[in-house]
Structure 1
Amino acid sequence: MATTDVALHEASGRVELKRIVNDMSIQVGTVNGSGSQSSNTVLLRTIFQMGVPVSGKNLFPSNIAGLPTWYTIRANKDGYIARKKEIDFCVAMNPETAQQDVMSLAAGAAVLYDEPLNLSSLRNDLVFYSVPYDKLVAAVCAEAKLRKLVKNMIYVGVVAKLLELDMAEVEKAIRKQFATKAKAANLNMAAAQAGYDYAAANLVKRDPYYVQRMDKTKGKIIIDGNSAAALGCMFAGVTVVTWYPITPSSSLVETLIDYMKEYRIAPDGKATFAIVQAEDELAAIGMVIGAGWAGARAMTATAGPGISLMAEFTGLAYYTEIPAVVWDIQRVGPSTGLPTRTSQGDILSTAVLSHGDTKHILLIPCSVEECFSMAQDAFDLAEQFQTPVFVMSDLDLGM
């Protein structure tokens, strides 16, 4: 946690906290499937639009809707935006994990929580802010079914007031998030404004964390590794993509589909590409090899379990000298393993994947930027050496 300096006023004996500006880690604990991703993205984008270097990261178990998920936002004026262990500002929205989240905080952290949770009774060395979310969302959203989705946007407004975020930037972020859904944008903006107004009228700022406008994000975009990889593959001229969904690689091809539909449709309205969801990983790599044999720039994306299934076909491409590009977004463990945890454990096995004396080209990106550039390098190397090329990304970099 950033150090909180304490200044003692000699005359009054009053203790004041020194402002900590543009240097904080925010954690939002919510329930999977509650619509929290939209509100988290809005908060992240608001800080980014104010010119402050920032990153966002989901931490979620392999689960279905209804179980815990956490989102961490790291903002730092000097560009140090990798996740850190310490949390400075905790937004506790999940009753099942709220107490644990609070107990894990270092002294001096701020906690924003749902009023019925009564978290302020747990510790006396934290700054607590309580908000009656249910009451506020009921006044904003008439449809009961939508309230759990809109409820999260209220915390965005509260945080905006407490951290002094520009509400004009909040609205801009909301309009972007719901660009094709004007009604949803208006509803979520009303929720954010309700949270802001409540905080302005009822909450006294007692923590030291603030966000002030900078110019450190000019000319930059918010993008994750899988999206950058997809963009790089499109720029590389990929024309055939065959894949089978698997966490954490699925978003790479899903994003690529959107890019190709927008930028690779011919003037006559016909697609200049083919993207096929195969029945399994074996079929996916087989189609890639067939397309490569015919001269297409072809690729697939998978994770460790898929790589294992692709071993025999990879050997075929290696020995018959057929170019192919395979993205491995690495995760922990064999079989089902831990699909929502990161790893770099596939490198050795992939380097010699298949049966016999194979030695494959591996590209290992260390940044989102390299996910973009190495996508193009992979296709060039595959054609130059007439062989499969593997790009070894991972969950933390990819999504």
Structure 2
Amino acid sequence: MGNGMIKEAPPAQQSDPADGLSANDGTIVNDFSIVVATANGTGSQTANMAILRALFKMGIPVNGKNIFPSNIQGLPTWYHIRLSKDGYTARRHTSEILVAFNQTTVVQDIQTLPPGGICLYNADWRSIPQRDDVTYYAVPVNEFIRDSGMKGKLKDYLSNMAYVGALAHLLAIPLERLDDALLFLFKGKRRTVDSNMAVVRVAYEWAAANLTAAHPYRVAPMNETEGLIMMTGNEAAALGAVFGGVTFAAWYPITPSTSVIDALNGYLAQMRRDPATGEATYAVVQAEDELAAVGMIIGAGFAGARAMTATSGPGISLMAEYVGLGYFAEVPAVIWDIQRVGPSTGLPTRTSQGDVLFTYYLGHGDTKNVILLPSSLRECFDFGYMAFDLADTLQTPVFVLSDLDLGMNNWMSEPFDYPAEPLKRGKVLSAADVAERGFARYRDLDGDGIPYRTLPGNEHPLAAYFARGTGHNDAAVYSERPDDWRNNMARLARKFDTARSLVPGPVIDEVEGAEIGIIAYGTTRPAIDEARDRLAADGIATSLLRLRALPINGEVEAFIARHERVYVIEMNRDGQLQTILRAELPEVATRLESLALLDGMPLTARWVVEAIMAAEQDRPRRAPTRREGSAEGATELDLPGDGSLSPGNGLPRGDSGLTDMGHDGHNREVIAGEG
């Protein structure tokens, strides 16, 4: 096959009409996707992260998604990088540029390219499938390694830097940006960076001399990421926990939650040491299993520590009995569930929202649990510390449900705000308080279902109590009396109702007169935001309510009542959130319809658009107006379009008329109770 360009393709055709901005000369700048196909365990993550971070530092909005197998080494892995000048971060269903460095999957990978796509591949391969509508670039990897002077096992791990250098030339990524990115990734280790850059430069210079960039895709500097940060959701969660005052964590390793504790260990080592002695003022324990881990944090919570664990679905299954103890004995704890695909072992390295129903009711008997539902890095951080305040205030385990996509992939964000309020420890009595007012551990003195508690170390003789998982009266004395049981369960229900006013309210973006409502949560947000803009471009108006927590409050029922149809969009098979909403809001349940997808991949805007259009079945629409801002300060914007809706018309076209509005929802969201 030889080196260099193999076959020139016809002009690129956008696989997604709503994506891409073509210049007058046909060049598509900062609006396309790249997929890198390699084998797991070959060191490709560093190469991929170097490209992602270099683009980010060029000011281009980007998002990276690692689609990796559940093994240590050898199986196929794909890394998706999306560039979007408009800042969209959802996964796209196709990528225009393929880096084919896995011979095992090259046949299927090339078939995924749209017409006009390009393919970089290892020139050392003997053959590669041919398509007349794809441009091929052969990259002589072994030649680059030889010319860079790399030897031994190091050369195997640096071979992926060959495609970094070639791609940098073809897309016009400055080498200094790649150098900066590697310096960040290797924490300032100049020697390691130089080894990687040696291969990058050889590949770049070879590409400049031998490859003709016969394709329309280019990058150019922008200013859209200035002041932003990039990290994973698991890192943001760990940092939030530090600001929330965590002093104890117990865990057992499980994908995709392990990096929560890895990051937590790093942050605590920097920020939680006695200034006089340098000794750690925290403890992180790797338990023998998830059952032991949750038992440890329940015990630590009883003792007054702010305690947490991080796990995924199989770990949650093992924790069920202890969670019930925490609920009934009323012990604060924080449990992060980074969701993956189940049931059973399932797909351990793919994303899902499959634990919502399970965690909401986790524990035998009548139990309901408080759940926080982050959708962004900022909310991972905010909920990271807020969860401890809620757990202490409500004296109960609090779940935070993230997922693999948010937790393990890199996202952009505004810098986090330093928490403005002190830690909220809830109703904790001192010895003086007990002396003044007495103490009955499970007595509801305030009518909100939340009793007062004492902590070990309180020296008043009446402060001690049994945190019972067995039947008890309001003084924590063992009891099997029916009235004691009935009263205690009624009080726990009142406490859960109190939680409705304490958890974060939903975020609402409502279009006046829109008949279509959408309810969603978590990482479906990027795809839904983009899909709504596409629908608006065709004059199809939608309103969105994004849940940030369970239990729900009255805003949710009112939102549903204001719309003829409300689609509940989520990443599971059975529409689990819809099940909860139907159970709790029977008067509006008939307006709800589930749009659920579970294939292990993050949602795309295309799927959301097509799912809504198919469900609508060509119903006529009028062109409504969008309410912007709070109810008091609302302004109306005319939306274009004739209001028609054609099922099967894959993707909407046209000018959305929303160029002055933030596609990512920051400018148009109204937080219920805050707007």
Q: TM-score, normalised by structure 2?
A: 0.56
The separation in 1 between residues aligned to 2:268 and 2:74, in whole angstroms, is 33
**Equivalent position of 1:57 in the other structure:** 65
Residue 134 and residue 17 in structure 1: after superposition, are their counterparts in 2 closer, same or farther (change >3 A)?
A: farther
Q: 2:27 aligned to 12, 15, 19, which one?
A: 19
Q: 1:368 deviation in Å?
A: 2.1
**Equivalent position of 1:213 in the other structure:** 221
Aligned 8 A contact 1:234 1:259 in 2: yes
**Equivalent position of 1:178 in the other structure:** 186
Q: 1:117 deviation in Å?
A: 3.0
Q: 1:364 aligned to 345, 357, 373, which one?
A: 373
Aligned-partner residue type, residue 186 of structure 2? F
**Equivalent position of 1:230 in the other structure:** 238
The separation in 2 between residues aligned to 1:17 and 1:150, in whole angstroms, is 36
Q: 1:273 aligned to 282, 285, 293, which one?
A: 282
**Equivalent position of 1:96 in the other structure:** 104
- 1:375 has 2:384 as partner: yes
DSSP-derived class of the 2:179 partner: helix
Q: 1:166 deviation in Å?
A: 1.3
Aligned 8 A contact 1:113 1:119 in 2: no
The separation in 1 between residues aligned to 2:252 and 2:162, in whole angstroms, is 37
- 1:305 has 2:279 as partner: no
Aligned 8 A contact 1:141 1:187 in 2: no
**Higher-Rg member (1/2):** 2
DSSP-derived class of the 1:335 partner: coil
Deviations 1:230-282 (A, max 9, x none): 11111111110100000111111111111111222222211111000000001
Aligned-partner residue type, residue 340 of structure 1? T
Aligned-partner residue type, residue 302 of structure 1? T
DSSP-derived class of the 1:116 partner: coil
Q: 2:292 aligned to 283, 290, 294, which one?
A: 283
Q: 1:155 aligned to 125, 148, 163, which one?
A: 163
Deviations 1:314-358 (A, max 9, x none): 111111110000001111113322111111111111111111111
Aligned 8 A contact 1:35 1:152 in 2: yes
Aligned 8 A contact 1:314 1:354 in 2: yes
Q: 1:259 aligned to 248, 262, 267, which one?
A: 267
Residue 6 and residue 293 in structure 1: after superposition, are their counterparts in 2 closer, same or farther (change >3 A)?
A: closer
- 1:323 has 2:332 as partner: yes
**Equivalent position of 1:296 in the other structure:** 305
**Equivalent position of 2:143 in the other structure:** 135
Aligned 8 A contact 1:236 1:379 in 2: yes
Aligned-partner residue type, residue 374 of structure 1? F
Q: 1:181 deviation in Å?
A: 3.4
Aligned 8 A contact 2:107 2:128 in 1: no
Deviations 1:83-121 (A, max 9, x none): 101111111111111121112211101111111336665
The range that moved more, 142-151 or 43-52, is 142-151
Aligned-partner residue type, residue 252 of structure 1? V
- 1:67 has 2:75 as partner: yes
Residue 292 and residue 6 in structure 1: after superposition, are their counterparts in 2 closer, same or farther (change >3 A)?
A: closer
**Equivalent position of 1:112 in the other structure:** 120
Aligned 8 A contact 1:179 1:185 in 2: no
Residue 382 and residue 17 in structure 1: after superposition, are their counterparts in 2 closer, same or farther (change >3 A)?
A: same
Residue 44 and residue 6 in structure 1: after superposition, are their counterparts in 2 closer, same or farther (change >3 A)?
A: closer
The separation in 2 between residues aligned to 1:37 and 1:309, in whole angstroms, is 32
The separation in 2 between residues aligned to 1:373 and 1:39, in whole angstroms, is 31
Aligned 8 A contact 2:22 2:28 in 1: no
**Equivalent position of 1:347 in the other structure:** 356
The range that moved more, 267-276 or 41-50, is 267-276
**Equivalent position of 2:132 in the other structure:** 124
Q: Percent identity?
A: 53
Q: 1:390 deviation in Å?
A: 0.4
Aligned-partner residue type, residue 382 of structure 1? A
Aligned-partner residue type, residue 360 of structure 2? A
Residue 300 and residue 6 in structure 1: after superposition, are their counterparts in 2 closer, same or farther (change >3 A)?
A: closer
The separation in 2 between residues aligned to 1:115 and 1:73, in whole angstroms, is 23
Structure 1 runs (4+) deviating above 2 angstroms are 1-7, 116-121, 179-183
The separation in 2 between residues aligned to 1:265 and 1:126, in whole angstroms, is 57
**Equivalent position of 1:394 in the other structure:** 403
- 1:168 has 2:159 as partner: no
Deviations 1:354-387 (A, max 9, x none): 1111111011112222111111221110010000
- Answer 1 or 2: higher relative contact order, Cα 8 Å, separation at least 6: 1
**Equivalent position of 1:29 in the other structure:** 37
The separation in 1 between residues aligned to 2:396 and 2:137, in whole angstroms, is 58
Aligned-partner residue type, residue 261 of structure 1? A
DSSP-derived class of the 2:229 partner: coil
Residue 283 and residue 121 in structure 1: after superposition, are their counterparts in 2 closer, same or farther (change >3 A)?
A: closer
The separation in 1 between residues aligned to 2:62 and 2:35, in whole angstroms, is 13
Aligned 8 A contact 1:234 1:260 in 2: yes
The separation in 2 between residues aligned to 1:297 and 1:131, in whole angstroms, is 53
Aligned 8 A contact 2:238 2:261 in 1: yes
Aligned 8 A contact 2:110 2:129 in 1: no
- 1:46 has 2:51 as partner: no
DSSP-derived class of the 1:222 partner: strand
Aligned-partner residue type, residue 391 of structure 1? V
**Equivalent position of 2:345 in the other structure:** 336
* Equivalences for residues 72-83 of structure 1 within 5 A: 72-83=80-91
Aligned-partner residue type, residue 377 of structure 1? M
Aligned 8 A contact 1:21 1:210 in 2: yes
Q: 1:154 deviation in Å?
A: 1.7
Aligned 8 A contact 1:291 1:298 in 2: yes
The range that moved more, 85-94 or 172-181, is 172-181
**Equivalent position of 1:10 in the other structure:** none
DSSP-derived class of the 1:366 partner: coil
DSSP-derived class of the 2:160 partner: helix
DSSP-derived class of the 1:51 partner: coil
Residue 244 and residue 288 in structure 1: after superposition, are their counterparts in 2 closer, same or farther (change >3 A)?
A: same
Residue 398 and residue 142 in structure 1: after superposition, are their counterparts in 2 closer, same or farther (change >3 A)?
A: closer
Q: Which runs of 5+ in 1 are unaligned?
A: 8-15
Aligned 8 A contact 2:97 2:113 in 1: no
Aligned-partner residue type, residue 53 of structure 2? R
DSSP-derived class of the 2:74 partner: coil
